A and B are shown apart, each in its own frame.
Chain A
Amino acid sequence: MHELGIASSILDAVRTEAARYPGAHVRKVGVRIGEYCGVDSESLRFCFEVLVKEDDLEPLALDIEYCPAGNGTRGDELDLSYLEIEEPETS
């Protein structure tokens, strides 16, 4: 259930960001998930796929970077990392 909420929040964030690039298609979103967040990557991926199928953002890929704690990371990261955007052809 947690992962479904997280997946839904990721899509909301993508939608907000995508609005800054009119006419472009977001193809991939990257997120960073810390090891202490209690988020299971496989489950998140599954929930994300289910939600994307019903969304006009489809096709949209999810790239999860898993962050172990230590070396300056606290392990509680739940961050947006990047978007890959296909921009409309300019004539």
Chain B
Amino acid sequence: MKRVALEGKVLGENDRIAAELRQAFRAHGILCLNFISSPGSGKTSLLERTLEGFAAGTRVALLTGDIQTDNDARRLARFGFPVRQVTTAGACHLDARMVEQHLKEWDLAALDLLLIENVGNLVCPTSYDLGEEAKIVVLSVTEGEDKPLKYPGIFRKAELMILNKTDLLPYVPFRVETARENARGIHPGIEILELSCQTGAGLDGWRRWLQERMETPRQ
């Protein structure tokens, strides 16, 4: 029996496609963001509020992943920007090949911003690079403030944590400071924004973050 050492990653094929996507996004000056959260944290609501703030003609497109239904794509299509639903038929995450296939019919030269809403899940999407410039994790105040401790993988990899549903803080025992400390304990450099998609509080800060990221040269 002969033993040979291997160097590669288990998800090497995914990483290869993701690297090609990243190269294509950068070549076209596209900012690609990958939104990850538990089901029901408000990813789709956040994207709705984001789209409604854009002027007509903004060069933005969305991919939204779910195991079944195109409900989210229909919600997001109301704003007049291109949207595609990726139905994974059972898979609990998007992978780079799915993104590649769904991008085929879009002209990347016509885009400045690509928003990808992953399947609601804090575990599996973390391992799959989609060629994004940054991962954004959405946490809501109806969840536990210990989510960063329970699911450290995604909080480590996300550049930004958005704390959503802050309008519900008076009604739930969620301690914002504890959640912040937990997230920073896992990832000291993580940026944190608080907002409510329901009332609109804090959305300005998110829009500023997005605008700044779009203006930052990518290399």
- Seen from chain A, the residues whose Cβ lies within 8 Å of a Cβ on chain B are 1-2, 5-6, 9-10, 12-13, 17, 27, 30-31, 36-39, 75-76, 78-87
Contacts and interface: CB of A to CB of B under 8 A. Distances in A.
Contacts of B1: 27, 84-86
A8 to B, nearest CB: 10
A17 B6 contact: yes
A13 B10 contact: yes
Contacts of B91: 1, 5
B127 A2 contact: yes
B143 interface: no
Interface of B: 1-14, 90-93, 95, 123-124, 126-127, 151-153, 156-157
B92 A84 contact: no
22 contacts: A1-B90, A1-B91, A1-B92, A2-B123, A9-B11, A9-B13, A9-B14, A12-B13, A13-B6, A13-B8, A27-B1, A38-B153, A76-B127, A78-B10, A78-B11, A79-B8, A80-B6, A80-B7, A80-B9, A82-B3, A85-B1, A86-B1
Contacts of B4: 17, 82-83, 85
Contacts of A37: 126-127, 153
B9 A38 contact: no
A78 B8 CA distance: 9
Contacts of B11: 6, 9, 78
